[in-house]
């Protein structure tokens, strides 16, 4: 839609062009909407980066049977040259991978960490095993609460989804006629 303005006062051509461009711009999305889209996009990039890492380094990273990674493995990764994802996304992907329940169990089960090529690296310290034990307890508690919450019977009208008032159509939001 092309809108034109007529000005009573005399404006310079630059000022007229600037005002015209402000009017003809499409409405900007709300900050909440753009923040949610950015968060969703970032999560998608992190998931893709995890897939890329597991495909590129199968001897070190595996989702089903993870192995404890050497400390500061991202520095080794970044030293290898050009990467398909930004450093921030790759750091988040490694943090997500290392924060999983299975990874914490792997730290408790293994005695040594692994490098990107799958070879043995430094020994896992007792301090790191203790931290993994605490993290594992926290993650299992969180999982237990989530399962417990999903099994709890809901009271009428306590759905997590927003309900339309009675007599309103789900598509138009207007009252229905019968």
Averaged pLDDT, 142-147 = 89
Cα end-to-end span (Å), the chain: 38
Q: What is the mean pLDDT of residues 69-74?
A: 94
pLDDT computed for residue 178 by the predictor: 44
pLDDT digits (tens, 9 = 90+) for 31-55: 676 888 888 899 999 999 999 999 9
The separation between CA 37 and the C-alpha centre of its own chain, rounded to angstroms, equals 11
Q: What distance in Å separates the CA atoms of residue 95 and residue 93, rounded to the nearest whole number?
A: 5
Label residues 130-162 b or e (16+ Cβ within 10 Å = b): eebeebbeebeeeeeeeeeeeeeeeeeeeeeee
Does pTM surpass 0.95?
no
Domain locations in the chain as residue ranges: 41-147
Q: At what angle do helices 87-98 and 31-56 cross, to 10 degrees?
A: 70
Write out pLDDT tens, residues 123-143: 999 999 999 999 999 988 998
**What is the CB-side half-sphere exposure of residue 2 using CA atoms within 13 A?**
0
* 90 or 157: which leads in pLDDT: 90
Strand partners, 168: 175
**The architecture CATH gives domain 41-147:** Orthogonal Bundle (1.10)
- Could you tell me the CA-to-CA distances from 100 to 104, 140, 166 in Å, in that order? 6, 11, 43
Structure confidence by residue, pLDDT tens digits, 14-27: 777 766 666 665 55
Q: What is the pLDDT of residue 25?
A: 56
**CA quadruple 86, 52, 65, 58: dihedral positive or negative?**
negative
Task: State the number of CA atoms in the 13 A half-sphere of 69 facing the CB.
Answer: 28
Higher per-residue pLDDT: 38 or 72? 72
């Amino acid at each position: 839609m092309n809108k034109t303005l007529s000005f009573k006062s005399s404006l310079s051509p630059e000022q007229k062009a600037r005002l015209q461009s402000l009017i003809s711009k499409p409405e900007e999305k709300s900050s909440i909407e753009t923040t949610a889209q950015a968060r969703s996009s970032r999560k998608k990039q992190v998931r893709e980066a995890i897939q890329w890492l597991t495909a590129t380094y199968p001897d070190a990273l595996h989702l089903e049977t993870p192995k404890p990674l050497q400390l500061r493995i991202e520095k080794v990764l970044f030293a290898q040259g050009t990467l398909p994802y930004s450093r921030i996304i790759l750091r988040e992907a490694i943090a997500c991978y290392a924060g999983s329940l299975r990874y914490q169990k792997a730290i408790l089960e293994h005695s040594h960490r692994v490098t990107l090529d799958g070879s043995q690296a430094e020994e896992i310290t007792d301090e790191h095993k203790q931290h993994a034990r605490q993290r594992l307890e926290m993650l299992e508690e969180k999982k237990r609460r989530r399962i417990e919450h999903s099994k709890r019977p809901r009271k009428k009208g306590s759905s997590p989804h927003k309900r339309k008032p009675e007599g309103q159509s789900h598509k138009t939001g207007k009252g229905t006629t019968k």
